[in-house]
Amino acid sequence: MRLELKFLLKNAEIETDYRASIMSFFKYALEKKYSLLYKELYDSNNVKPFSFSVFLPDAKIDGHRYILSGNIFSVKFSSSDTALLFSFYNAMTNAVSLGYDYELPFENSLRLIKVSYSNTQKIASQKVLIKFLSPLLVRAHEKEGNKDRYLDYTSEDFGERLQDVVGFYLKTRGIKNGKITLKPIEAKRTVAVCMKLKFNCSYGEFELTARPDIIEELYLAGVGSRRSEGFGLFDIKCQIDDESADIEFTEGADV
């Protein structure tokens, strides 16, 4: 399942770097309810098996903020770790009961007013049509100069670097032979802001091919880089029953 969070803003606007504010609220609520889990997740550079997406109604950019059509916006939170998901659910319902206003830039604030959940699909196919709810980031680290590049789906080495990112994540979850392919269908490029940084990224519809267990892991935890900062969460539009989706795997390969 996925958590569905509904927030009330004091003013119908929010900064363009809204992911940083959502992450800050998550940390605040989690530390109040589960201080040990908070430290486990955030006191070290652990790989986190979750992602989230934010829906801002009729958002129109105005400088460093979005002007919205109403004071309510929503967040989807998803994790492949069931225990972690339930801990977040309890932390968020505790935040609702406390009813506190969390301060934001531009003399604004938000309050979590409702927590619910929605069911997710069981994956039975090796090929699915997906639509990104939050942009896909693919980080390429260059040892020379110790710099990072962020690629979109038109980048020459996009597929190779995506495989590197996904393969590393899957191994942290004990999943080997983590080969995937991602084919753009109705894809677009964009630039996203997070933690005062700007990233090239992709969104739209893609065809994802992998073993069903890998698709399910990525469906629940997100795909790509910086997932826990609100990137790489997708919905499955349909599962494709296609014999051509069969993938050959080499026994023992780690990707």
pLDDT, one tens digit per residue, over 78-116 is 999 999 999 999 999 999 999 999 999 999 999 999 999
Nearest to 139 by CA among 232, 64, 25, 253: 232
Instruction: Please identify, among 100, 118, 136, the residue that sits at the C-terminal boundary of a domain.
Output: 118
Tell me if 253 is assigned to some domain: no
The enclosing domain of 45 has a CATH number of 3.30.70.1890
Q: What is the largest CA-CA distance in the chain?
A: 57
Tell me if 182 is assigned to some domain: yes
Determine contact, residues 178/171, Cβ cutoff 8 Å: yes
Tell me if 252 is assigned to some domain: no
Whether residues 67 and 162 fall in one domain: no
Element counts in the chain: helices (H) and strands (E)? 5, 14
Whether residues 137 and 233 fall in one domain: yes
In this prediction the pTM is 0.92
Distance CA 165, CA 235 (A): 20
Question: One-letter amino acid identity for 52?
Answer: F
- H/E stretch holding 89 reads helix 82-98
pLDDT in tens, the chain (255 residues): 999 999 999 999 999 999 999 999 999 999 999 999 999 999 888 899 999 999 999 999 999 999 999 999 999 999 999 999 999 999 999 999 999 999 999 999 999 999 999 999 999 999 999 999 999 999 998 877 788 999 999 999 999 999 999 999 999 999 988 899 999 999 999 999 999 999 999 999 999 999 999 999 999 999 999 999 999 999 999 999 865 444 443 333 333
Distance CA 23, CA 203 (A): 21
pLDDT at position 39 is: 94
* Residue 251 C-alpha from the chain's centroid: 30
SS3 letters across 98-149: HCCCEEECCCEEEEEEEEEEECCCCCCCCEEEEEECCCECEEEEECCCCEEE
Tell me if 250 is assigned to some domain: no
Tell me if 240 is assigned to some domain: yes
- H/E stretch holding 79 reads strand 72-79
Whether residues 12 and 90 fall in one domain: yes
Tell me if 211 is assigned to some domain: yes
- H/E stretch holding 51 reads strand 50-55
| Dihedral angle, C-alpha 49, 1, 14, 152, nearest 10 ° | 50
Question: One-letter amino acid identity for 163?
Answer: Q
Range of the domain at 24: 2-118
The enclosing domain of 212 has a CATH number of 3.30.70.1900
Distance CA 255, CA 242 (A): 24
pLDDT at position 176 is: 87
Whether residues 99 and 201 fall in one domain: no
φ, ψ at 194 (rounded to 5°): -155, 130
